[in-house]
Each structure stands twice: as C-alpha cells, then as structure tokens.
Structure 1
Amino acid sequence: MRYSLIFTLLLLCIIGFGSVPLNTIDSLKNELTITEGEAKVELLIQISEAYRNLHSSYCIDYGISAIDESKLLQNKELEAKALKSLGISTYYSGKFDDALLYYQNSLELYSKLDDKKQMAACYNNIGIVYEELAEFDMALEFYKKSFEYEKQLDNKKGIGISLISLGNIFYYQNTYHLAIDNYFQALLIFQKINNKWGIAYVYNSIGIIYRLWNDLDNSVMYFEKSKLIYEEIEDEVGLSKVLCNLGELYSDEPKDYKNALKYFNQSISIKKKLEDKIGIALLYNNFGTLYAKMENYEKALSYFNDSYLLYSEMKSITGLVMVEQNIGKLYFQFEDYNTAAEKFTNSLKMATKAKMDNYISSNYKELMSCYALTLDTESFKKYYNLYNSKNDSIINHLRLSRLYDIESKYVIEQLLITSNKLSEENQLKEQEIRQLRLIMAGLGGLIILIIFSYVLFLKIRK
C-alpha cells in the first residue's frame, strides 16, 4: 500500500491552498473590470488561485489570461509568477505534463532575473512532478538543486522542505534509514523556527516509516501528533493526508475496519471538497483494499478500477504500480491465478523501471505464490530466488537498527539543544542576580551614607 507522503503539501510553502469564499471571488472579478496594467495581471493570478480548489477549468482559464497579459506588458517577473502559479494549478488537476512545462518556463525566466528564491521553489516543484511520474533520478536532481539554492539563501524553511523532498525519494527507493535521517534533520529545523506546518508534515512522514517497519506504537504516536497540529492550524490538506494514513494503519495490523472506514471517509470528504485528484485516486485505492479485506469483492474491484482510471489519466506511475498490484491480489483471492500473475507482472515492470524496490520485492512474492499454485515450477523457482535475494532478513534487521540509531541521534541532539537553552537561561539568571546584588549593595551603601550624614547633622545641630 502506498502511504500518503504528501508531496503536494510541499507546494503549500509557496502558495496557499485554502478555500476562498465565492463573494471574495466576485469582488475580485468586479475589481478586474476597472483595473489595467500590472495590477490586472496580479488580479488574474489571484482569481485563478481562488478557483484552484473550486473550479479547475476557471482556474486554468484565468491563469492563462494572466500569462497572456504579462506578455503584452513585457513584464518578465509577472510572467514568471503567473507561469509558476499555473504550474501548481495544473499539478493539482493531475495534468503533470502541463505542470512541468509551466514550471520549466517559469524557471527559465526567474533564472534570467537571477531570483534565487523563486528558482529554488521552481526546482522543488519540478522535482515533485517527476516524483509523481516515478522518475526518481530526475526528481532527486531537481531537489538537490533546490536544496543548494536554499542553503545559499540561508532559508531555513526552504532547507527543511528540501530535506523532506530528498527524504521522500529515499522512501521510494526503499532506503528508509536515509529517508528518516532527512526527516529528523528537517524536524530539528522546523522546531528551531517554530514552523508548525513543517513539524506536522515531518511527524506524518516519520509515522509512515515506522509503519513500514511494523512499529505500530511509534507510528500511531507520530500520526496523532501530526493530526493534532493540522487541526490546530486548520490545514485541511495536511489533515486529509494524515487521516488517510491512519485509515491505512487501522486497516492493516489491528484490522480495525470500522475505524479505518471512519478515517477514509473523513479524508475523502476533504479531498473531494478541495478537488484533490491525486488524493482521491489514492483513497479509491485504499477503499478497494479495505473492502477486499472485508470480503466485499465487488465493491473492492469497483474502487480499484476508479483509482486505476484516475491514475491513468494523470500518468502517475507510482499510483499505477500500486493499483495494478492490488487488483492482482484481488484476482488471486478469486483464484484466477493467471489474471493475477498478469497484473503482478504489469506492476513489476513499472516498479522495476521506476526503481521502486519495495514493490519489486512484493511483486516477486506475489508471482512466486501464483506460479506455485499453477504448478509452473520454472517460474516459481525464478521468483523464489529473486524474492529471497531482495528479502534478506539480516539486511532488514540491520536497516531497522539504523532506523533506531538515527532517532537516538535526533533525541540526543534535542537534549543538547534543550540543555544549551537551559544553560543560557541559567547564565542570564546568574547575570541578573549579580546585577541585583550590585544594585542592592549600592542601595545599602547609599542608605548607610544617608544614616551617617543624618547622625552627623544631628551632632552638628547640638
């Protein structure tokens, strides 16, 4: 099952995703009729973004108008801004090819303007699209470029986001110790700058890693921490992601299907309201998995097919790898082993091309089971050997040890930071006490001087 790593939330650090009341949009449109020049372009961008999670076609139309107007004005800065904004909108609409084009054109303009802050944002956003397309090497290249610019700018929030992005790639490449190391580094940064959005994001990501390592208690703890913060800051997008992850967790180990269904329904209601096509596709898959476990196979297949259609429209390889495998599992339960093997093979081909090790290994295991039951000895041996080579228990144990070592390093660093803060506070208190003592000594001396002067005065009077 593919956990929601929230790539889309990374975009929120650049531009908001909240709901905009229709009367606000009407007000902006009225203002548009009496506005010209650069102000008109800014208004077109605002209206486009206001429609982003209300009406995708209006959103894109206004975004294109903003680009056209900025070109007429020959204002490269506004054109770059409009292009980047439309890149975000088309990404959320699942039009990844269009999103890439808009981001690349925006990056080209910002490069000419030498706007490093916006260049870093564009590099990050391009990486997000490549990540969704399962082109992880390309995603990694763009994330690293973004990271370098953020470090040059000493942009703490940007550095944290880049660390998360790099962590996500390591997650997909099944190098979880590298993923969680990046997440903890990001967490330290977000805690230092008191960025609650970033803290919630990282908690959710860490929860996913612990879930994959079957550490249920830590996974729930981090998911709940993330959920509380998202509720506090009223971030519906983030909340929908962590609700989805909690649903997946409860549908697996505890087999608490009632709670799983509750979390999935809460999540999808938010995703539909926000027109989050990527999130809806993932939830359809999750509903399919849940209903399969509840032995409602007809409903499960219907949800899987809906998910497959959405991922196909978006050309999302990571999504298709997951859904193909899950449909294969369903046909396996139907005892249609040939169709199941066909689905697992399709998933395996895409996973191999995308270097998604976790899915490569699990597809080997599924194909091994199919060929064992169809008495295809040669194919069984092939996938048995491939699966064993990928699933060395000693290697997995070492990976888990690394995971805990990384968390220990983070905890120690947190204690050092706390200790340093306490030391600084104690030093300030000691300094304040010394100053107070000096003041008191001065006051005491002054009082003695006054008393002495008064006594001397009385003696003189006598």
Structure 2
Amino acid sequence: MFLVAFLLPQLANAQSNPTTDSLIQLLNRTKSTKEKLPITLQLSEELYKSNSTLALKYAFESERLAKKLHSDSLLNKAYINQGTAYLHLGNHPSALNLFFKAIHGAQKNGDSHTLFAAYDNLAILYYYQKDMDNALKYLFAALDQYARKKPMSNFQIERKIYVLNNIGIVYDETKQYKKSAQYFNKALALAKQMNDHEIIANVLTNQADLYNNQGKSELALKQYEEALAIRRKNNNKWGLSKSYLSIGQFYLTNKNYDKAESYIKEAIELGKEAKYWQNVDVASSKLFNLYKLKGDYKNALTALELNKKVNDTLFNQERIRKITQLEMQFEFDRKQADFLTKQKERNIYYWLASIALSLSLVIVTLLFYLQKNRTRKLRLEQENLTQEKSKLEKDVELKEKELANKLLHITQNKEFIDDISTKLIGIKQKIEIEAQSSVQKIISDLQANLQPDLLQEFELRFHQVHDEFFNTLNKKFPDLTPSERKLCAFLKLNMSTKEISTITHQSTKSIEIARTRLRKKLNLTGSDQNLVDFLTQLDV
C-alpha cells in the first residue's frame, strides 16, 4: 500500500489526541488573527487522517486568516493542507488544483518545505490514478528538496523514509524489482536509525510484498512474520490487523487454507477492536473467497454477511462525510463572499467620500470663479461624457472580442496538444525501446504546456472588460455560488459547453447540469428566454 495507508497506524487516533484537544481549546481562547493562524494550520495537519472534513474546515480558516494577514508563505501552507484533506476525501480535481497553486507560490518564495509537501502529495494523487510515471516524477522531485537539507531534523528524516518507501512501491508495481529493493533497503536503514517500530514494520511488509511478487515465498513469509513480531511487541492492534491480513493472504495464495483462515479471522477481530473497518472489509471478503474454495458454504454466507454489514457502515460514513464536506464548503464560500462584499462596501464608501469632497471643491471653485460660464461648461462636459462613453463602449467591445479570441486560441492549443500527445503515445508503442524515452520526454514537454491556470487569467481579463457585470449579478442574484458566477461569465462571452469544459477541466455533462441549475436560480425555468441572451443584456 502507498503512503496514505503507510501513515495511518501512527495517526488513526489523532482525533482523540490530547494535542488536538488542547489546540482547539487554545484556538477558542485566542483573539489575535496572527496567533490563530499557526494554530489552525497545525490543527488541519493533525486531523487530516482521522477526520478529513474537520481538517478541511481548519484549512479553510487558515486560508482566510492568511489572506487577511497578507502572508503568502502561510497561504501556501493552507493550500497544501486543503489539498491534503481533499486527497483523503477522494476529491482529486480540487486537490490537484490546490497543490499546483501552492507550488506556484512556493517557487516564488523558495519555500523548500512547502514544495516537498506539494510534490509528495502529488505523487500520491497520481499513484491513485495509476499514473506511475508522474508518481515517480514527483517522488523524486520531493526527494530532491531534502537533498538540499543538511543536517536534517528527525521529522525530515521520517518524511524522507516515506518517500524512499513509496519509490520502492512504485518500482515494485511496475515490476522493476531491483530498483524497488534498493529503495526499500534505504528506507529500512533510515527507519532502524530512527528506531521507529511501526515504520520498520511497514517497510518490512512492503519488502515481503516485493519478495512475494518475485516468487520468493520463504523470504516473503520471513519479512511478514518479522513485521508481525514487531507489532505484537508494541501491541499495535491497527498494525497487527494489517499484518495478520497480509500473512493470511499469503497462505491463501499458496493454498494453505487452514492457516489462511486462522490469520484472516485474527485480522478481522483485531480490526473490529481497532475500528479499522477498511481492513475488516477486505479481510471478510478474503474469508468469503476462502470458504468458497473449501466448499464451506455455511461459513461463506456468514463471512459475506459480515462483509455486507461493514460495507454498509463504510458507505454511511462516506455519505455523512461528503454531506459535511459540502456544508463546510458552502459555509466557507459564504464567509468569503461576505468578506469580499464588506471589503467592496468599504472601498465604495471611501470612493464616494473622495468623489463627494472633490465635487464639492470643484463646485465651490466654479461658483466663485466661473459663475457666468457655468451653463456653457456643463454643456461641454455633457458632450465630452457622451463621447467618452461611446469610446469606452467601443473599447469594451474590442476587449471582449480579444478575450474571446484568446480563450478560443487557448482551447484550440490544448486540443491540439492533446491530439499530438495521443498520437505520440500510439507511436511510442510501435518503436524501438531505445527511442521510447525520447518520445516520452516529448509527450511530457507537451503536457507541461497545459499547466497554466486558465481560470485565473480568464477572471483577470474578464474583470477588466466587464467590471460592472458581477456587481449587477450579485445585486440581483446574491445566492449564486462562485462557480455559478464564473459560469455566467463564460456564457456572457457566448462560449460553448466544450470550450468551458476545456477551461474548467469539468466534463461537458457536469456543465450542462450546472446550466440547468443556473436557469432555475435566475428564475428562467419555464421561460422561453435564452440563457446567453439574458446574461448578455444583464449589465446593459
């Protein structure tokens, strides 16, 4: 298993950790924004394994506080913590976007610690997506950040062990066994140097998996049993459940059903005690298969019923977690909108006050010096304003065309790169092995051109062209979410669903659903009025 599972034994009970409880109490007593920010960051880091939704809540608060303090370095850390929570919640697109935002900011500041965290998490994300090339790419990028740190703290050595271990896992899964063994050995040597028993047990288990994949059954069993002995000594029920399941699977594969049954049953019992339901789910499924092979259908039914019960429990937990995540996201968006609204209100107040003062001075001066010419000057000013308005309207029309053309160009460029990359992948399979690495580099270079944040560029340019559009939209429809406001902007430019999909990385089906919801919020349901026409005329 990869890094996320690798860390769980150490953090499974983080939610009840006295450190977490004391941090929450400290946060409730703290009034200063500057003092609150590091506490919320630490809380999101402590909780992201045991309670990812709660970790996300504190990461959102960290972002808000960091923006309030104008701290770019801490804002990048907030992005990392949000991305990590999303990764554990299974929301990979949001996690990917946040990690790249953190990398962009950290590269400007030369923040090696944040870069490591972003690269490390990106590797996990790509591993989950079965993209082993990118997983290795970012694992080595993370390792490179620690190559510059001398001497390293214990925490940094621990993080380096995780990276070395995960490189070994990727090489094992891609059948590069020699390289896999090298990195497992490096990870194990550092783990023994730190004398961290649970990390040692995890690396030993991964080495056993490697031996098993190579057909070295005796060596594999020896490593499994050594990891089990370490966990017995430390009475780590969470880890013991994992070890018993690994050995049970080993015996099941080798058709030693009696021993397999004994170990898998023990894995289930320990998993129940530790509330490690994911392991109980897997173990009960293995037990069901074992009884089927033995023809013991009565016990097979019992194992199947347990598996279904655990599956239902996990499903309900996941559903509750997703609902909570959505509620928290909505609350965060609402607070962000309130903050921006108040900020705009303050700016408008100062702007109006300045204009009022300036106008007062101008009026007094005009009355004093130019009373007789007042009517003539007002008429001239009105003519100038009319001309200026006409000029501005033409400028807006020109900029709108430029913005639409640029977005179209970006969209076509992405489609072109995707098409070329697909063709190169096909060519890669047909050419000699020596030339495949060169073709892969070309593919990687092409894909690198797809990283720029198109949404940020679009929002900046759109605000320059249609400064009043969002003000009018927010005034008439204050309940729109940020995503729905962005969709309104795309539609105002008369962009197609396919073009919006390319910019936002969403599927066309998701965008069509979003358009239907938007019509309802704009009170257009049951109306024949075209959505694009409605938005085009909104700020006229």
Alpha-carbon shift at residue 266 of structure 1 (Å): 4.2
Aligned match of 1:34 in 29, 35, 42? Answer: 29
Per-residue Cα deviation, 1:257-283 (whole angstroms, up to 9, x for no partner): 43232243146337745x7x6x56655
Q: Could you tell me which amino acid in structure 2 is paired with residue 21 of structure 1?
A: S
Distance 2:29 2:107 in 1: 33
Distance 1:186 1:257, change over 3 A: closer
Alpha-carbon shift at residue 208 of structure 1 (Å): 1.0
Distance 2:294 2:215 in 1: 22
Per-residue Cα deviation, 1:304-331 (whole angstroms, up to 9, x for no partner): 9987997xx99xxxxxxxxxxxxxxxxx
Partner of 1:112: 108
Distance 1:236 1:85 in 2: 28
Q: Could you tell me which amino acid in structure 1 is paired with residue 136 of structure 2?
A: L
Partner of 1:224: 225
Partner of 1:393: none
Alpha-carbon shift at residue 134 of structure 1 (Å): 0.8
Q: Could you tell me which amino acid in structure 2 is paired with residue 111 of structure 1?
A: Q
Distance 1:90 1:31, change over 3 A: same
Distance 1:249 1:40 in 2: 49
Q: Could you tell me which amino acid in structure 1 is paired with residue 207 of structure 2?
A: I
Is the 2:55–2:85 Cα contact (8 Å) retained in structure 1?
yes
The equivalences for 1:256-275 within 5 A come to: 256-266=259-269, 268-269=271-272, 272-273=275-276
Distance 1:108 1:284 in 2: 45
Partner of 1:133: 129
Per-residue Cα deviation, 1:194-251 (whole angstroms, up to 9, x for no partner): 4544432221111112223343332222122223334556666544433331231233
Q: Could you tell me which amino acid in structure 1 is paired with residue 185 of structure 2?
A: F
Is the 2:288–2:303 Cα contact (8 Å) retained in structure 1?
yes
Distance 2:226 2:301 in 1: 36
Per-residue Cα deviation, 1:7-53 (whole angstroms, up to 9, x for no partner): 2155579x955434377655443432331213212322344455445
Distance 1:128 1:65, change over 3 A: same
Is the 2:83–2:96 Cα contact (8 Å) retained in structure 1?
yes
Partner of 2:490: none
State yes or no: 1:190 paired with 2:185: no
Partner of 2:349: none
Distance 2:191 2:222 in 1: 19
TM-score normalized by the length of structure 2? 0.48
For structure 1, which segment, 185-194 or 234-243, has the greater mean C-alpha deviation from structure 2 after superposition? 234-243
Partner of 2:418: none
Distance 2:292 2:84 in 1: 35
Distance 1:72 1:38, change over 3 A: same
Describe the SS at the equivalent of 1:174. coil
Per-residue Cα deviation, 1:359-395 (whole angstroms, up to 9, x for no partner): xxxxxxxxxxxxxxxxxxxxxxxxxxxxxxxxxxxxx
Distance 1:138 1:98 in 2: 18
Describe the SS at the equivalent of 1:153. coil
The equivalences for 1:171-190 within 5 A come to: 171-190=172-191
Is the 1:285–1:307 Cα contact (8 Å) retained in structure 2?
no
Aligned match of 1:82 in 64, 78, 82? Answer: 78
The equivalences for 1:2-401 within 5 A come to: 5-9=1-5, 16-21=11-16, 25=20, 27-35=22-30, 36-52=32-48, 54-154=50-150, 155=152, 156-232=157-233, 238-253=239-254, 254-255=256-257, 256-266=259-269, 268-269=271-272, 272-273=275-276, 282-283=282-283, 285-295=285-295, 296=297, 303=307
Is the 1:151–1:159 Cα contact (8 Å) retained in structure 2?
no
Distance 1:178 1:51, change over 3 A: closer
* Structure 2: gaps (5+ residues): 320-425, 427-540
Distance 1:124 1:59 in 2: 18
Distance 2:142 2:104 in 1: 14
Alpha-carbon shift at residue 170 of structure 1 (Å): 1.4
Is the 1:237–1:271 Cα contact (8 Å) retained in structure 2?
yes
Q: Could you tell me which amino acid in structure 1 is paired with residue 265 of structure 2?
A: K
Is the 1:6–1:241 Cα contact (8 Å) retained in structure 2?
no
Distance 1:113 1:234 in 2: 44
Alpha-carbon shift at residue 119 of structure 1 (Å): 1.6
Per-residue Cα deviation, 1:317-366 (whole angstroms, up to 9, x for no partner): xxxxxxxxxxxxxxxxxxxxxxxxxxxxxxxxxxxx9xxxxxxxxxxxxx
Distance 1:30 1:88, change over 3 A: same
The share of aligned pairs that are identical, in percent, is: 19
For structure 1, which segment, 119-128 or 248-257, has the greater mean C-alpha deviation from structure 2 after superposition? 248-257
Q: Could you tell me which amino acid in structure 1 is paired with residue 224 of structure 2?
A: F
Alpha-carbon shift at residue 120 of structure 1 (Å): 2.1
Distance 1:141 1:235, change over 3 A: farther
Is the 1:240–1:267 Cα contact (8 Å) retained in structure 2?
yes
For structure 1, which segment, 82-91 or 136-145, has the greater mean C-alpha deviation from structure 2 after superposition? 82-91
Distance 1:243 1:37, change over 3 A: farther
TM-score normalized by the length of structure 1? 0.55
Distance 1:284 1:66, change over 3 A: farther
Alpha-carbon shift at residue 91 of structure 1 (Å): 2.8
Per-residue Cα deviation, 1:376-417 (whole angstroms, up to 9, x for no partner): xxxxxxxxxxxxxxxxxxxxxxxxxxxxxxxxxxxxxxxxxx
Q: Could you tell me which amino acid in structure 2 is paired with residue 191 of structure 1?
A: K
Is the 1:6–1:238 Cα contact (8 Å) retained in structure 2?
no
Distance 1:197 1:22, change over 3 A: closer
